């Protein structure tokens, strides 16, 4: 997080309307509101997702086993990030960023309203729609923020992304408080519908405000030719037909269960990053120095996957702990368990400027930690958070309801870890990216989330209800992350050597 003070002589680049937004191009307001509403819908639905799946049918839920519900959640979040890769490709080759974001928002909105239909099939189809739409939108809306400024050296650029980043966390903070309350205390499907309304508002103001956006957002950077388009559609059609036939046979023979979807997607989410890195390492267009940097980047990628494997369980195992084992009253005030999902964005808004200032303060004194040290610290923090969860689970043994301060502490530790790893990961991704893959590497970074979530889904399916969410479940994963952090720090010299001139 960084803020930028405009020099007196620097004027905002003109938007088509000539208006500005706090000294920034007017289009930033359009993208800020679109992202705020989209995050409001996403995090609001996410706060209800696992709770709805495990709720008894008599209470309006699906009554799915907790481990299976957690695995569904993990695969769903994995697909959101995996689909950001084709989302960026569609914008670059077919539609341009603006149309792709509009299409993504419409698909997300439809997905939320499908969740609002009290039919199990509609629920899972809705999840697929939201994942697809999120991939289209997520991959391109940040790019459109960059289009508003006069190149990478525009002094307002960092400040613009800071405002945009605050919109993300504002939506994430408000969503559980509003949608979570409605879903848990009024009706699950009304909560999902409210998420759809939120996305509809975001999409509506985006379409009304498109005149304020940069013309660059309409450009298709690398238009696809007719022959290539035909070949892609033919291959995609064959794969879709094969999948439809296969799953049709499984369903008609009465063998289909949710595991038939979770397992293939989980395996694919782990295999795809392996294939991507293998192709890069074998690419003859890359120089030895670039291949060495890819080798160094793999260390950070694996570390990030371990981090996200634990971090993204905030909406699954931690959400179940909040609902089943945590008192919903603090200082005499009663609240629904979904409100715990607002803690992370609240902490981020409070701590991100502090952490950004800390790195600058340390750098001025020549004491700024290396990238490997920051990653190692992030892993130690995420591991420590699950050791705290181990203690909280032990305190809740015998059916006792523990104080909400346990989860408040867990989310605080995780947020500190996130702020030392996630922004640094984005930065090192751009630094180590080979020139040939400069645009694609950010999508590769998102694959770390996909891989981590898919590993979590497999663990949850294999271990089952007897282990998932237990004291040992949290302890083992916490120790794994701490061991990974220690290992990364111990081998930091090897990693630095692979990074070449990047520090």
Task: Give domain status of residue 304, yes or no.
Answer: yes
Range of the domain at 197: 20-224
Compute the half-sphere exposure of residue 169: CA atoms within 13 Å on the CB side of its CA.
18
Residues 309 and 410 in one domain: yes
Asked if pLDDT for residue 5 goes beyond 50, the answer is no
Give the pLDDT of residue 503: 66
CA-CA distance, 315 to 70, in Å (whole number)? 8
What would the mean pLDDT of 255-277 be, rounded to a whole number? 93
Sole residue written with tokens 């995050």: 39
Which residues does 470 contact at the CB level (< 8 Å), separation at least 6? Answer: 393
Residues 79 and 170 in one domain: yes
Residues 411 and 386 in one domain: yes
* Percent of the chain surpassing pLDDT 70: 95
Task: Give domain status of residue 3, yes or no.
Answer: no
Sole residue written with tokens 């309801």: 401
**Cross-strand pairs, 329:** 334
Task: Give domain status of residue 2, yes or no.
Answer: no
CA-CA distance, 121 to 87, in Å (whole number)? 25
What CATH number corresponds to the domain at position 41? 1.20.1250.20
Task: Give domain status of residue 12, yes or no.
Answer: no
Longest dimension (CA), the chain: 72
CA-CA distance, 427 to 495, in Å (whole number)? 16
Residues 132 and 268 in one domain: no
Asked if pLDDT for residue 353 goes beyond 50, the answer is yes
φ, ψ at 21 (rounded to 5°) = -130, 100
CA-CA distance, 344 to 350, in Å (whole number)? 10
Q: Does the CA dihedral 88-89-95-96 come out positive or negative?
A: positive
What would the mean pLDDT of 155-176 be, rounded to a whole number? 86
How many domains, in total, are found in the chain? 3
CA-CA distance, 283 to 286, in Å (whole number)? 6
Residues 303 and 203 in one domain: no
Task: Give domain status of residue 8, yes or no.
Answer: no
Residues 33 and 151 in one domain: yes
- As to burial, measured by CB atoms within 10 angstroms (0-12 exposed, 13-18 middle, 19+ buried), residue 152 is exposed
Top mean pLDDT of 150-154, 191-195, 332-336 is at 191-195
Last residue of a domain, one of 224, 239, 268: 224
Instruction: Quote the tokens at residue 113.
Output: 């309203």
- As to burial, measured by CB atoms within 10 angstroms (0-12 exposed, 13-18 middle, 19+ buried), residue 496 is middle
Question: Which helix (H) or strand (E) element contains residue 20?
Answer: strand 20-21
CA-CA distance, 295 to 280, in Å (whole number)? 10
Residues 479 and 375 in one domain: yes
Please give the residue that has the higher pLDDT: either 357 or 411.
411
Residues 123 and 211 in one domain: yes
Give the pLDDT of residue 7: 38
pTM: 0.90
Please choose, from the candidates 451, 492, 478, the residue with its C-alpha nearest in 3D space to the C-alpha of residue 74.
451
Task: Give domain status of residue 460, yes or no.
Answer: yes
Residue range 219-257, pLDDT digits in tens: 888 888 889 989 999 999 999 999 999 989 998 988 888
Residues 220 and 350 in one domain: no
When the pLDDT of each residue in the chain is averaged and rounded to a whole number, the result is: 90
The DSSP secondary-structure symbol of 402 reads B
CB-CB contact of 13 with 149 (8 Å) = yes
Question: Which helix (H) or strand (E) element contains residue 133?
Answer: helix 120-147
Please state whether beta strands 333-334 and 24-25 pair in parallel, antiparallel, or not at all (unpaired): unpaired
Task: Give domain status of residue 11, yes or no.
Answer: no
Which residues does 436 contact at the CB level (< 8 Å), separation at least 6? Answer: 283, 285, 286, 290
What would the mean pLDDT of 138-159 be, rounded to a whole number? 80
Give the pLDDT of residue 13: 47
CB-CB contact of 1 with 353 (8 Å) = yes
Among 26-30, 100-104, 302-306, the minimum mean pLDDT is found in: 26-30
Task: Give domain status of residue 14, yes or no.
Answer: no
Question: Which helix (H) or strand (E) element contains residue 25?
Answer: strand 24-25
Give the pLDDT of residue 439: 65
Residues 168 and 49 in one domain: yes
Please choose, from the candidates 337, 288, 294, 333, the residue with its C-alpha nearest in 3D space to the C-alpha of residue 315.
337
Residues 295 and 430 in one domain: yes
Last residue of a domain, one of 224, 243, 274: 224
Give the pLDDT of residue 298: 95
Residues 176 and 240 in one domain: no
**Cross-strand pairs, 334:** 329
What 3-state class would DSSP assign to 21? strand
Q: What angle do CA 133, 138, 142 make, to 5 degrees?
A: 145
The DSSP result for 167-235, as a single string, is: HHHHHHHHHIIIIIHHHHHT-HHHHHHHHHHHHHHHHHHHHHTGGGS-GGGG--SSPPPHHHHHHHHHH
């Amino acid at each position: 997080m960084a803020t930028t003070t405009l020099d007196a002589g620097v004027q905002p680049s003109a938007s088509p309307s000539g208006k500005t937004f706090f000294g920034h191009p007017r289009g930033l307001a359009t993208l800020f509101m679109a992202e705020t509403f989209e995050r409001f819908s996403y995090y609001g639905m996410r706060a209800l997702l696992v709770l709805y799946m495990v709720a008894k049918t008599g209470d309006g839920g699906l009554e799915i086993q907790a481990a299976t519900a957690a695995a569904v959640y993990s695969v769903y979040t994995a697909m959101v990030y995996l689909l950001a890769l084709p989302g960026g490709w569609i914008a670059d080759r077919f539609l341009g960023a603006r149309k792709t974001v509009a299409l993504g928002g419409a698909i997300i909105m439809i997905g939320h309203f499908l969740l609002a239909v009290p039919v199990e099939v509609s629920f899972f189809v809705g999840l697929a729609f939201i994942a697809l739409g999120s991939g289209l939108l997520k991959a391109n809306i940040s790019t459109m923020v960059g289009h508003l400024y006069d190149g990478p050296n525009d002094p307002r650029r960092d400040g613009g992304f800071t405002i945009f980043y605050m919109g993300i966390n504002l939506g994430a903070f408000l969503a559980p408080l509003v949608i979570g309350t409605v879903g848990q205390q009024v009706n699950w499907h009304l909560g999902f519908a409210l998420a759809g309304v939120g996305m509809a508002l975001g999409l509506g103001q985006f379409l009304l405000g498109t005149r304020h956006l940069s013309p660059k957002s309409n450009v298709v950077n690398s238009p696809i030719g007719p022959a290539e388009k035909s070949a892609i559609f033919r291959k995609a059609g064959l794969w879709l037909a094969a999948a439809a036939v296969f799953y049709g046979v499984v369903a008609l023979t009465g063998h289909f269960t949710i595991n038939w979807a979770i397992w293939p997607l989980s395996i694919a989410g782990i295999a795809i990053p392996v294939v991507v890195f293998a192709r890069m390492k074998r690419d003859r267009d890359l120089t030895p120095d670039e291949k060495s940097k890819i080798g160094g980047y793999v260390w950070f990628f694996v570390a990030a996957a371990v981090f996200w494997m634990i971090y993204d369980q905030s909406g699954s195992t931690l959400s179940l702990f909040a609902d089943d084992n945590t008192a919903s009253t603090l200082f005499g005030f009663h609240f629904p368990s979904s409100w715990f999902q607002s803690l992370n964005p609240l902490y981020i808004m409070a701590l991100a400027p502090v952490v950004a200032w800390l790195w600058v303060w340390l750098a001025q004194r020549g004491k700024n930690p290396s990238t490997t040290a920051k990653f190692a610290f992030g892993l130690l923090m995420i591991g420590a958070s699950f050791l705290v969860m181990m203690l909280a689970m032990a305190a809740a043994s015998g059916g006792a309801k523990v104080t909400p301060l346990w989860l408040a502490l867990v989310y605080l530790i995780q947020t500190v870890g996130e702020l030392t790893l996630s922004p640094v990961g984005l930065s090192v991704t751009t630094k180590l990216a080979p020139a040939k893959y400069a645009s694609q590497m950010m999508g590769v970074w998102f694959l770390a989330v996909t891989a981590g979530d898919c590993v979590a889904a497999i663990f949850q399916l294999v271990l089952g209800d007897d282990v998932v969410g237990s004291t040992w479940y949290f302890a083992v994963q916490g120790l794994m992350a701490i061991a990974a952090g220690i290992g990364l720090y111990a081998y930091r010299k090897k990693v630095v050597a692979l990074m070449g001139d990047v520090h």
